[in-house]
Amino acid sequence: MRARQEFPFLPQWLIAGREAGAPRGMRPFGGSAEDLTVEFGLALRPELITELLARCCQAAVNADVDRHLLLEMPVGMRIEALVALAALTDPNPFCWRVHCASSGCGQESEFELTVDQIVSMSNELRERQTMQAEIGGVEVVLRRPTGVDQSEWLSQPAALECEAMLRAIFVRPSLDEVLETGVSLDSIALAIDEVMDTFDPLPGLHLSVVCPHCGTSADVSPDLVGPALERLSRAQQAVIGDVHRIASRYHWSERQILELPEWRRQSYLQLIEGTA
């Protein structure tokens, strides 16, 4: 488990007036008794990400992290923070498996991304709060979707989710005004996807991966959130296992064990395993 680190950079337009509650650093997940109460299998992803960040982020001295700020962060920045938090627990690159779709190949291979590579993909336009684009001949101003938006979309029927997403990110003119020009909802959605590939690339990340067996390139869309959550869930289970072994031998409470510095906890585990 790595030492504490700085929180990924947040732009001034997001934290203006709320600097005291803005996250400044992160501690590794799994170090407190409260971390063991997180239920990974039950919460919706936006809620789970907010909960994990709220528990592990640290604001300025004598100030709590502003949960509303965490919710109002753009989705891409929330993914960045989650990936960075997962890397505190396990700094190894994130890995995905892909099957080659080329006729006559079909081999499986792996590709990796480090946390630094993931974070660097969204740095270029971070300082811009909105993005101008042309959709169906109409000049529009768009914003990035946020954690609040995601939670609201999930409350919509599946058939209305796409439209709800689009309504949220139009700053001006409104979605209805653009639709009135005769542009179809599908065309708008396709154009928005292209804009967000540049403006907020992490939520719908696309990569070109070359098959090492036949050299064929393929477009892949790795899920960044799933592996990060899996890594944090494994960290939680590992701590629960450590607590179980120490409690079984010394009969201390869960909180007493978790209040021990990690190096002391590991020393007791080594004694139990007979390796010290």
> According to the model, what pLDDT value does residue 73 have?
95
Instruction: Say if residue 41 is in the same domain as residue 87.
Output: yes
Q: Are residues 60 and 130 in the same domain?
A: no
Range of the domain at 17: 5-91
For residue 69, give the nearest of 55, 50, 84, 85 by alpha carbon: 50
Domain check: are 87 and 151 in the same one?
no
User: How many Å apart are CA 258 and CA 177, to the nearest integer?
Assistant: 56
Query: Quick one: three-class SS letters along the chain?
Result: CCCCEECCCCCHHHHCCCHHHCCCEECCCCCCHHHHHCCCCCCCHHHHHHHHHHHHEECCCCCCCCHHHHHHCEHHHHHHHHHHHHHHHCCCCEEEEEECCCCCCCCEEEEEECHHHHHHCCCCCCCCCEEEEEECCEEEEEECCEHHHHHHHHCCCHHHHHHHHHHHHEEECCHHHHHCCCCCHHHHHHHHHHHHHHHCCCCCCCEEEECCCCCCEEEECCCCHHHHHHHHHHHHHHHHHHHHHHHHHHCCCHHHHHCCCHHHHHHHHHHHHCCC
Report the relative pairing of strands 217-220 and 25-26 from DSSP bridges. unpaired
260 found inside a domain? no
pTM higher than the cut 0.85: yes
Q: Is residue 81 part of a domain?
A: yes
Q: Does residue 258 fall inside a structural domain?
A: no
- Asked if residue 31 is part of any domain, the answer here is yes
**134: which residues sit within 8 A by CB, 6+ positions away?**
140
Domain end (from 200, 222, 248): 200
Q: Flag whether 218 is in a domain.
A: no
The residue among 200, 215, 250 that closes a domain is 200
How many domains is the chain partitioned into structurally?
2
- The answer to whether residues 85 and 129 belong to one domain is no
The answer on 133 and 66 residing in a single domain is no
Domain boundary among 184, 200, 216: 200
138-161 pLDDT tens trace: 999 999 999 999 988 888 887 888
Q: Do 74 and 135 reside in the same domain of the chain?
A: no
Q: Are 187 and 168 in contact (CB under 8 A)?
A: no
Give the tokens for residue 105: 């190949």
Predicted confidence at residue 3, as pLDDT, reads 61
276 residues of the chain, pLDDT tens digit each: 556 678 888 999 999 999 999 999 999 998 888 899 999 987 789 999 999 999 999 887 777 899 999 999 999 999 999 999 999 999 999 999 998 888 888 888 899 999 999 988 877 788 899 999 999 899 999 999 999 999 888 888 878 888 888 999 999 999 999 999 999 999 999 999 999 999 999 999 989 998 888 888 888 999 999 999 999 999 999 999 999 999 999 999 988 998 888 889 889 999 998 865
Radius of gyration over every alpha carbon of the chain, rounded to an integer in angstroms? 22
11 assigned to some structural domain: yes
Q: Is residue 229 part of a domain?
A: no
Give me the count of residues in the chain.
276
The answer to the question of residue 255 being in a domain is: no
Judge contact between 60 and 24, C-beta under 8 A. Answer: yes
